[in-house]
Homo-oligomer: A and B are copies of this chain.
Amino acid sequence: MEDFYQKCAEHGLKITPQRRIIYEELMRAKDHPTADAIYKRVRRKLPNISFDTVYRTLHLFSEIGIAKLVEGYGEDRRFEPNLDQHHHFRCLKCHAIYDFHCDSYDELPLPEVVRKYGLVVGKRVVLEGICLKCRK
């Protein structure tokens, strides 16, 4: 909650009940929720809140750095002709995706901790950054 007040002040954003409660719900969430999921939860406390407010506010939070978007999600579906094991570099600006190969990435050991989540069938490293074109 400290982060919330500080970052809002830093960016000249007003503290509204909507923003406070959306922030609380997101922080409580363990499931990487969609805007709609947060909307449903927030409505228990603010029955008249609009979906648009929830949606805009979540994006606002990710812009000022108190939340993040899960990478990739929300963008158009994209297809992959390359069936070999490989990894991706994603440009955060233009959304280009480049393939690369790396043996040491292919051979990463699975940490014990993921056992409790399920059976792993695929493993991939995603590097994010700014591509050469976008760095002008």
The answer, yes or no, to whether A58 is at the interface (CB within 8 Å) is yes
The answer, yes or no, to whether A75 is at the interface (CB within 8 Å) is yes
Determine how many copies of this chain the complex contains: 2
How many chain A residues have a CB neighbour from B under 8 Å?
70
Instruction: Name A81's contact: one of B67, B119, B121, B127 (CB within 8 Å).
Output: B67
8 additional A-B residue pairs with CB within 8 Å, beyond A31-B97, A32-B79: A32-B97, A66-B83, A67-B83, A70-B79, A70-B97, A92-B121, A118-B129, A118-B130
Q: Which positions in A face B, CB cutoff 8 Å?
A: 26-29, 31-36, 38, 58, 61-62, 65-83, 88-89, 91-92, 96-98, 100-102, 104-105, 108-111, 113-114, 116-132, 134-135
